[in-house]
Amino acid sequence: VYLLRLQYNIIRFGSLMWFRRSKDYGLPQDLSGKVIIVTGGTSGIGLSTVRLLAERKATVIIACRDTKKGLVVLSEMQAKSNMALDIKVMELKLNKLASVQCFAEQFLALNMPLHVLINNAGIVNTCYVESEDRLEEMFAVNHLGHFYLTVLLLEKLRESSRARVVHVSSAIHKIWGDLDTLDLAKPCEISGLKKTFDYYGRSKLCNILFSTELAQRLQGCSVSSNALHPGAVNTNIGLEHTNRLMRVLVAPIRLFMQHPDQGANTSIYCAISTEVEGVSGQYFENCHSKVPAKSAKDSSRARQLWDVSCDLIADRLQVDMAWAKQIGS
């Protein structure tokens, strides 16, 4: 029953998006001089985001866990393009906080500006998987790794003119109820489609809470923070730890989903549109500001999530995160 309801909702939404014509929402065609990091830029929405931004002459950093795949993707993009694309590939394993720290150090050593950080990478696991830091992996990758990356690069973003942080969340955040931050470090039982989407929804709820809390803490500075739902997009997300039966059940749904280029529209809109200049703390769907679930607007829970995220990083890496707790205070 749960699967049938999910199929119906995704097919209905996907069908609407399939026939909706794309528009030019104040997107500049020339991004020369702009430096943009896209996490998870080797497939799906991330790959489309990288290509579409690079074709507008931005310098794009693909932050990915498999640099060999990243270089292959880069070569393929360049071969298909009629212009030179300024794209760099750097290793970032979001399920390992030490890798996040290493990436940030290596990027900062390049002495480049950073105008946009797109926290795009995401995973869906249909069973319980632990990250390198002994945390439930969907939470670790989809939220905590991006949280640490963002705070490590925040000063660089502040130095750049009107910088933006874009968080790719999901409408599935509405599945999870109130967030209990005390449970985030605990193992959990994930089996079956319902539990899979419950805990994926939890991680996506964290994305929105983090985005709004970051916007709150950055009030008065030129860095904005917004979250978005990309739509129902035909990507490989969720297939890595999915059994054969689940792949068969999900296959019909994929036929009605958007192409990744369509799914990247709202990410690009939030990243570069003149219509979003100065807008912060919002949640977007289909390039329009929408109201997220009530649980995603809980400012008290957002502050708790920020502090718990700092505590988890401090504990796993044995580093001082007091400075991150003080951001915006």
CB-facing half-sphere around the CA of 25: CA atoms within 13 A: 18
Say whether 25 is catalytic: no
Classify residue 177 by its DSSP letter. -
User: 182 with 301: CB under 8 angstroms?
Assistant: no
Classify residue 176 by its DSSP letter. S
User: 108 with 151: CB under 8 angstroms?
Assistant: no
Residue 99's closest CA among 132, 50, 59? 132
Question: What are the φ and ψ backbone dihedral angles of 327, each rounded to 5 degrees?
Answer: -60, 125
Q: Kindly list the distances between the CA atom of residue 177 and the CA atoms of 25, 126, 172, 174, 208, in Å, as whole numbers in the listed order.
A: 33, 20, 11, 7, 13
Catalytic residue among 199, 200, 269, 283: 200
Give the C-alpha separation, 198 to 170, whole Å.
12
The pair of three-digit structure tokens given for residue 53, joined into one six-digit string: 């931004």
Residue 166's closest CA among 152, 148, 146? 146
Strand partners, 130: 136
- Provide the residue type at 238 as one letter: G
Give the C-alpha separation, 206 to 227, whole Å.
11
Give the C-alpha separation, 298 to 315, whole Å.
26
Contacts of 209 by beta carbon, 8 Å cutoff, 6+ apart: 179, 296, 298, 301, 302, 305
Catalytic residues: 200
